[in-house]
A and B are shown apart, each in its own frame.
Chain A
Amino acid sequence: SYDLTQPPSVSVSPGQTASITCSGDNLGHKYVCWYQQRPGQSPLLVIYQDNKRPSGIPERFSGSNSGNTASLTISGTQALDEADYYCQAWDSDTVVFGPGTKVTVL
């Protein structure tokens, strides 16, 4: 089975840049998307097809994917960005989620 790896946690100061990585074998050959999940809420798609933002998602969210690593970057992080973030890819007729990264805004 295909596995995705994410750091368990990332801490960032308000206004600074948070970067979350997602690693998998030849991940750069797959499209990756990212979901934000605030406590007690449903997941929200924030990046799809590596680097596209859905309507309504702030420009401070950006994505990239190359080699074995995809990244989600939050520029000018705000307190409301504190949440769990999951990467996701499709492999061999299966949807694969990363384990999630908890972003804490200190």
Chain B
Amino acid sequence: EVQLVESGGDLVQPGASLRLSCAATGFTFSSYAMSWVRQAPGKGLEWVSTISDRGGTTFFADSVKGRFTIARDNSKSTLYLQVSSLRAEDTAVFFCARTDLWFGENHYFHMDVWGKGTTVTVSS
């Protein structure tokens, strides 16, 4: 069974850092790009970051650029998101998602498998 399990969410104070993890099973992790998407309480989906299958290319939303880092360990089938300088507005459920993308002439991007999410709460 294809599965993604996130972990690492916590209640932290403003300015703190966390490392979120996403363990993948049931598919060849190294063949897929991976993404993080977050959802603030009662709000819509917000894309955070994407990393290519081998980790050589990364993309970030402007709202997190310079504060968040995405990485992967294909030997462990695990995706990471290092979140730093956390703010109250970063409070959200963070989902990891398997990503199918192509940046050729007819580029496409969609996320076909999602985890259940891990909750990050930033509050003093």
Contact A100/B108 with A44-B114, A95-B35 known, Cβ cut-off 8 Å: no
A33 at the interface (CB under 8 A from B): yes
Contact A100/B115 with A31-B107, A48-B110 known, Cβ cut-off 8 Å: no
Q: Are A94 and B47 in contact (CB under 8 A)?
A: yes
How many residues of chain B are within 8 Å of chain A by beta carbon? 25
Contact of A48 among B37, B62, B108 (CB under 8 A): B108
Question: Secondary structure of the B side of the interface?
Answer: strand
In the complex, how many residue pairs between chain A and chain B have their CB atoms under 8 Å apart? 67
A1 to B112 alpha-carbon distance, docked (Å)? 25
A96 at the interface (CB under 8 A from B): yes
Q: Are B110 and A88 in contact (CB under 8 A)?
A: yes
Q: Are A42 and B107 in contact (CB under 8 A)?
A: no
Interface residues of A (CB under 8 A from B): 1, 31, 33, 35, 37, 42-45, 48-49, 54, 84, 86, 88-90, 93-100
Interface residues of B (CB under 8 A from A): 35, 37, 44-47, 50, 59, 61-62, 95, 97, 100-101, 106-112, 114-117
